[in-house]
Amino acid sequence: MLKWIFTKRKQTAELKFQREWVKEFQIYHERVREYWIRYRHLEEIHSICGFEESTRVLDVGCGISSVLHFIPGDRYGIDPLAEEYQKLYSYPAALTIQKADAESLPFADAFFDVVFCSNVLDHINDPGKTIEEIVRVLRPKGYFILTVEIFTQKHKRDPAHPHCLLKSEVEQLISGRFEKVSEYESPWIGLHNYVKGNCQYWNRELILIVRK
């Protein structure tokens, strides 16, 4: 019962944000692309992964403003609130978006060439199980692009962010499962702030490109 209440509170907070964000994303679509290029190294990711129209790509916890908008490929997104998001936003027809939890991905083993998980790992219930599922659905030598806000010390956050992850904890989650290709740290500004022209930041986010 307590887990259900916790999950419900978390999803309510996330849905509230997305309801407010969807209109801004539709207006500032190109600013979101710019953010991905400037702070999340999208051009470097594109160069390393070599996206083509046939590349199978998954975005775990895709939300509304998924990176899938900005890359080619056979593109899939999952989110536990996908059905609610589809009431708020018309995703491009080329994207396959479905309701699912990150800890139980509804895909066959080794199905994807590339998996993204962007600003999601600290939102979900079980980061370890999520990484295990990503390993399972990613083909051998496939790429995993992880973006996550990192902290220098532990503290309690809010219902939408049940985890406060240190860099060492993130590295432990991928250790033994992936080979590191590239690593970046960027200011944690946030899309909502960036599209409004506010580039102040108080934290960092880690961007990892790793290979299975």
Measure the CA–CA gap between 196 and 186, rounded to whole angstroms. Answer: 18
Query: What is the per-residue pLDDT for 160?
Result: 65
Measure the CA–CA gap between 34 and 138, rounded to whole angstroms. Answer: 27
Boundaries of domain holding 131:
2-211
Contact status, residue 79 vs residue 105, Cβ threshold 8 Å: no
Query: What is the per-residue pLDDT for 7?
Result: 63
Q: Which CATH number characterizes residue 76's domain?
A: 3.40.50.150
Q: Please tell me which of 1-10, 21-30, 136-145 the model is most confident about, judged by mean pLDDT.
A: 136-145
Reading phi first (left if > 0) and then psi (alpha if -120 to 50, else beta), residue 41 is in left
How many separate helices (H) and strands (E) can be counted in the chain? 7, 7
The 8-class DSSP code of residue 67 comes to: G
Query: What is the per-residue pLDDT for 2?
Result: 39
Per residue in 88-109, pLDDT tens? Answer: 999 999 999 999 999 999 999 9
Domain total in the chain: 1
Per residue in 122-160, pLDDT tens? Answer: 888 899 999 999 999 999 999 999 999 998 777 677 666
pTM: 0.92
Give the DSSP letter string of 119-162. Answer: S-TTTSS-HHHHHHHHHHHEEEEEEEEEEEEEBSS----BTTB-
Q: How much is the mean pLDDT over the chain?
A: 91
Per residue in 53-96, pLDDT tens? Answer: 999 999 999 999 999 999 999 999 999 999 999 999 999 999 99
Block residue for tokens 């594109």:
46
